[in-house]
Amino acid sequence: MQLRPRGVWNLRAGVRDGRPASSFKILIAGCVMVLAGCASMEPPATSDHNMHSATVASPVMADAPAGFSSSRIAPAPRASGRRLDAPLAMQTPDDGLEPRTVDLTVQPADIWTRIRRGFAVPNIDTALVKEWENFYASRPDYIQRTAERAGKYLYYIVEEIDQRGMPTELALLPFVESSYDPWALSRSQASGLWQFIPATGRGFNLKQDWWRDERRDPIASTRAAMDYLQYLFDFHGDWHLALASYNWGEGSVKRAIDKNTARGLPTDYLSLDMPDETRNYIPKLQAIKNIIANPAAYNIALPAIENQPYFVTITKSRNIDVKLAAQLAEMPLEEFKALNPSFNRGVILGSHEPTLLLPADRISIFEANLRAYSGSLSSWHTHELGRGETLTSVAKKYGTSVATLRRANGLGSRSRVGAGDILMVPTSRQAEPTLVASAGPTPVRAVADNNSRAKKKVHVRTHKVRKGETLSSIARQYGTSIEQLRSLNRIKGSALAVGRTLQIPGRV
């Protein structure tokens, strides 16, 4: 996909930098209403229902340990662009004090103000918007938890959006899509922050195999989502239709437009005949936008999130166990996984040259511990089966058992493997045979074995879901993982019904 140069007018679509021309003119005027720490936006009344700075990575660190290279995602110098035409704006505070001049070329200290300044999707004011405002406003704990989760990813996402000259409302889309849970999985198998289904993910080069699922990777999936949204906007020339297409599919939206055209009816988003999910989709986003714009009006307090990079990227070329990586960074395992949720197995393959994400304040600790670590970084070998090789021959070669290989690779008694398949092989008898970071896809030739006797026995407790609780909060409460809760309770997505009794895994 070819993107337009920044600052260039597209007369065909009537847009500048991916925004409608009229919206751009409104943007500067709208900035007048933005306060230093909180925008002023009155909640819309009920009516009848019916991208300046770029992410810059520093050079590879000279003292990075062998097999690793690191780069820091840091704020870039301000560049000229669409919002610098009028760098000074008069802002009138709500408390009746004298207006003050705000320099819009200076980055705000917090991410929420930066997001508010980049709003550019035209607002809608419908009864559905009011319904969703009331829904979210009555659940301040949910907004708080979701915003806290978002804090890990927002800076990177907003940087990506600003670099492309796209509306910053798009940074709020994962509120609607996944509640900013990178492990979110829908009934249609849509996964990750941006909820890509497998086919669409592959279409945007998100790798999905036994080892990793880049639909859950914060960097890869964000880039793919922005590519997709830019394509949809170029296709329709309208952000509401682009967002509806992200939810329903551009073909479905185009057919709805053609249907209205044939009938002589308007073809804007609010005039189209669409499924309930899509009809509610943009009102949900608008409601979240209204709340973020003026949280005090809804009695909601957003967590403080600095307009600074949260994570640092490290590219590695050696195998490393997930648990060990977390230990070297001196991070809780679940927190490490939240930044690196794309890895399906308990070992991260160096041959994939993956990018690890670590909090910015953990990178020096990780590198120091890595240099001081004298043991093996992984308790696993990877072995690609050659022609004629079997599980028995591989087990004999490495001095392990077929049963161990089956457990380590999620293979049932009826599973078949062949040339080209890659096996995880423990490097010692002390290696855990079930190091699996998350429930990922099985090997190509694997057949599920529901009668496997290799499952560990666990003591099970129960927990009744209370209002506002999530899989993440329950997992933290009991010191378990989201994956274990999903597996034990056969939960595919993230939604939890209040009053549901969950089984909680305990220690053996």
Active-site residue list = 177
Please write down the HEC assignment for all residues of 85-108: CCCEEEECCCCCCCCEEEECCCCC
Structure tokens at 168: 């910053």
Count CB neighbours of 92 within 10 A: 14
Question: What tokens does 486 get?
Answer: 């999903």
Backbone angles phi, psi at 94, to 5 degrees: -75, -15
Rounded-to-integer distance, Cα 39 and Cα 296, Å: 10
Distance (Å, rounded) from C-alpha 438 to C-alpha 183?
9
CB 342 within 8 A of CB 216: yes
The β-bridge partners of 348 are 320
| Pairing, β 68-74 against β 311-316 | antiparallel
**Bridge-partner residues for 428, per DSSP?**
none
**439 — phi, psi (to 5°)?**
-80, 95
Query: Smallest Cα–Cα separation from 17: which of 29, 8, 30?
Result: 8
HSE at residue 23, side-chain half, CA atoms within 13 A, is 23
CA max distance for the chain:
82
| Residue in this structure with the two tokens 């925004």, named with its chain if needed | 19
Cross-strand partners of 74: 56
